[in-house]
Amino acid sequence: MKSRFITSAAVGLAAALALAGCGSAAPSANGQVTLKMVESLTNPTRTDTIEKLIDGFEKENPNIKVELISPPTDQADQKIQQMLQSGKGIDVVEARDITVGSFGANKWLYDMSADLTGWDGWSNLTDNAVKYSKQDGKTYYIPYGFYGLSLFYRTDVVKDAGFSAPPASWSDMLEQATAMNKPTENKFGYAFRGGANANSNAVAIIEAYVADEIDKENAFKLTSGKTIFSSPKAQEAMDLYIELFKKGSPPSSVAWGYPEMVQGFTNGSTSFLLQDPEVIATVKESKSINAEQWNVAPLLVGPTGKAIQPVASAGWGIAESSKAKPEAVKLIKYLAQGDAATTFTKENSLVPILKSAADDSFYSSGPWAAYVTMTENPDTYVSAVQPRGVSWWTEWIKKSDGELQRVLTGQMSTTELLAGWDSYWSQKMAG
């Protein structure tokens, strides 16, 4: 009895270990290819959209099957790293400007340049989309859309507080938010970002203050070659920013990341929200505020009268280890063109990658009007490239977020904060 038990246990274990689970895509006997596609910024509605696009692609390419893998977004990038490192079970991957640097450095991503030379799709893409597809002469990914900041505001609250228009500058914002802040009634002015990625909005205000001397190719640098954090104007910006937190924002926003900020706005407790266009769809679904109660205004400007639009992008790339690169390229081309690209950017409310969107009435009306205003006034809303692709970007995010929270909780001064950021970036940029 015992030997039989042990033998069978051993056999079972061996069999289990030998069980072939998932291999990466390789053409099977009948010429059918399965692509594994992994998304990172997962949310249920977006997953549905991608599934829909995949269906369309599979109809056009009956011999290719696409399996979408949708990990919870908080754990996604870590999982993607594991997958890419193991070199198995991943063909098409969602690469973000902030991950593409390290993925590329580790040779995890495939350079599609050769496959895409002479591709007729290039001419349909906006200049920005082409620029981001060909960074440093390599095509690691093709963007599916762009993110950029604009100001979501409550039309009714602004009016009731006696203001004729939403804030256009950061100092307007301080004034209006302070006027609307009523903590005892659970009503607040500005949905401050103090939690995850808090650095992004802090940098946005600093950039608006130093806009006149900023290096457009590296938005963390001044034309003088020093970092933006070294400027005395950065000090002014941060002091106003902290005042905005103290006088016009919910105290709990020290811990607010993306979801809390958006929820603060959609559930009606805050009146202003600086966010990506992505949020439009979410706000439209809100049960607490209706369509007449909100709108979108352009990004806030600094005393310079200008704002720097920190363009962020993400898109689809191919794993270097993929054994089905031609098919993967096909899928990526499909997603970057025509209806597929338009559907994706519309349903996720992203800044589009196709030139044809300029003629689309969808983008010139309602909440999207602010984006048109911004693109039509490039001298006021200057777009500049942040060094988001550097391999230390995640380190920077974690570091700067933690330090900003230290300032918010009174453990650090804004001067110390800026000095620290200045020396960090001076060192990194020196090499």
Partner 1 sequence: MTVDTKDAAARPSTRRDAPGGARTSTGIKRRFNAKTALTLLAFLAPAAIFVGIFTYYPMISGSQMAFRNWNLNDLSDTSWVGFGNFQSLFDAPEFWGIVRNTVIWVVGSLIPQVVIGFAVALFLKRRFRMRGAYQAMIFFPWAVSGFLIGMLFRWMFNAEFGVVNDLLMKAGLIDSPIPWLAEPGFAMTAIIIANIWYGVTFFAIMILAALQSVSDEMYEAAALDGAGKVRTFFNITLPSIATTLALTILLRVIWIFNFPDIIFAMTGGGPADQTHIITTYMIKITQEGDYGKASALGLIVVVTLMLFAAFYLMAVRPGKAQR
Partner 2 sequence: MINRMSIAGRISKVVFLGLCLLATVFPLYWIIITSLKEPGAIYSLPLDYWPRQLSLENYIGLFTKSDFGQYMVNSLIVATVASTVATLISLLSAYVLARFEFSGRGWVMGAFLVTQMIPGFIALGPLYLMMSNFGLVDSKTGLILIYIAICIPFCTIMLRGFFENVPDALEEAAMIDGCSRLGALFRVLVPVMLPGVAASFIFNFVNCWNELFLSVTLMNSDANKTIPTALAGFISSFNIDWGSMSAAAVLTVVPTLAIFAFASKFIVQGLTAGAVKG
User: Minimum CB separation from partner 1 for residue 30, in Å?
Assistant: 36
Q: How far apart are CA 105 and CA 335, in angstroms?
A: 25
**Residue 374 near which of partner 2, partner 1, none (CB within 5-8 Å, type-dependent):** none
* Binding residue count for partner 1, defined by CB under 8 A: 39
Of 143, 145, 148, 194, the one binding partner 1 (CB under 8 A) is 194
Interaction residues for partner 1, span 229-258 (CB under 8 A): 250-255
**Residue 71 near which of partner 1, partner 2, none (CB within 5-8 Å, type-dependent):** partner 2
Beta strands in 201-339 (DSSP E): 270-275, 294-297, 307-310, 312-318
Got the DSSP string for 333-385?
HHHTSHHHHHHHHHHTT-B-SBGGGGG-GGGGSGGGHHHHHHHH-TTTEEEE-
Q: Which residues of this chain interact with partner 2, rule CB under 8 A?
A: 1-2, 5, 13, 16-23, 36, 41-44, 67, 69-75, 78-79, 82, 85-86, 88-89, 186, 258-260, 262-263, 266-268, 275, 278-279, 282, 286-288
Closest CA to 199 of 116, 93, 310: 310
User: For the window 18-57, what string marks contact with partner 1 as x by the rule CB under 8 A?
Assistant: ----------------------------------------
The answer to whether residues 144 and 315 touch, using CB atoms and an 8 Å cutoff, is yes
Of 85, 356, 365, 423, the one binding partner 1 (CB under 8 A) is 85
Q: Is 409 in the site for partner 1 (CB under 8 A)?
A: yes
Task: Pick between residue 183 and residue 225 the one whose CB is nearest to partner 1.
Answer: 183
Q: Which residues pair with 109 in a beta bridge?
A: 319
User: Minimum CB separation from partner 1 for residue 257, in Å?
Assistant: 8
Q: What angle do CA 334, 372, 342 make, to 5 degrees?
A: 15
Q: Is 70 in the site for partner 1 (CB under 8 A)?
A: no
The answer to whether residues 387 and 218 touch, using CB atoms and an 8 Å cutoff, is yes
Task: Pick between residue 194 and residue 387 the one whose CB is nearest to partner 1.
Answer: 194
Task: Pick between residue 117 and residue 184 the one whose CB is nearest to partner 2.
Answer: 184
Task: Pick between residue 205 and residue 262 the one whose CB is nearest to partner 2.
Answer: 262
**Residue 131 near which of partner 1, partner 2, none (CB within 5-8 Å, type-dependent):** none
Would you call 394 exposed, middle or buried from its count of C-beta atoms within 10 A (0-12, 13-18, 19+)? Answer: middle
Q: At what angle do helices 232-248 and 198-209 cross, to 10 degrees?
A: 130
| Per-residue tokens: 60 | 């056009």
From residue 113, alpha-carbon distances to 93, 142, 313, 318, 337 in Å are 17, 11, 19, 12, 17
From residue 425, alpha-carbon distances to 68, 208, 391, 430 in Å are 38, 18, 13, 8
The answer to whether residues 247 and 177 touch, using CB atoms and an 8 Å cutoff, is yes
User: Minimum CB separation from partner 2 for residue 10, in Å?
Assistant: 12
Closest CA to 206 of 18, 417, 43: 417
Got the DSSP string for 261-286?
HHHHHHTTSEEEEEE-TTHHHHHHT-
Q: Is 392 in the site for partner 1 (CB under 8 A)?
A: yes
Q: Is 105 in the site for partner 1 (CB under 8 A)?
A: yes
Task: Pick between residue 85 and residue 113 the one whose CB is nearest to partner 2.
Answer: 85
Task: Pick between residue 52 and residue 79 the one whose CB is nearest to partner 2.
Answer: 79
Task: Pick between residue 70 and residue 218 the one whose CB is nearest to partner 2.
Answer: 70
Supply the DSSP symbol for 320. T
User: Minimum CB separation from partner 2 for residue 73, in Å?
Assistant: 5
**Residue 19 near which of partner 1, partner 2, none (CB within 5-8 Å, type-dependent):** partner 2
Residues that bind partner 1 (CB under 8 A): 2, 6, 9, 13, 77-78, 81, 85, 101-102, 105-106, 183-184, 186, 194-196, 250-255, 264, 267, 269, 391-392, 394-395, 398, 402-403, 405-406, 408-409, 411
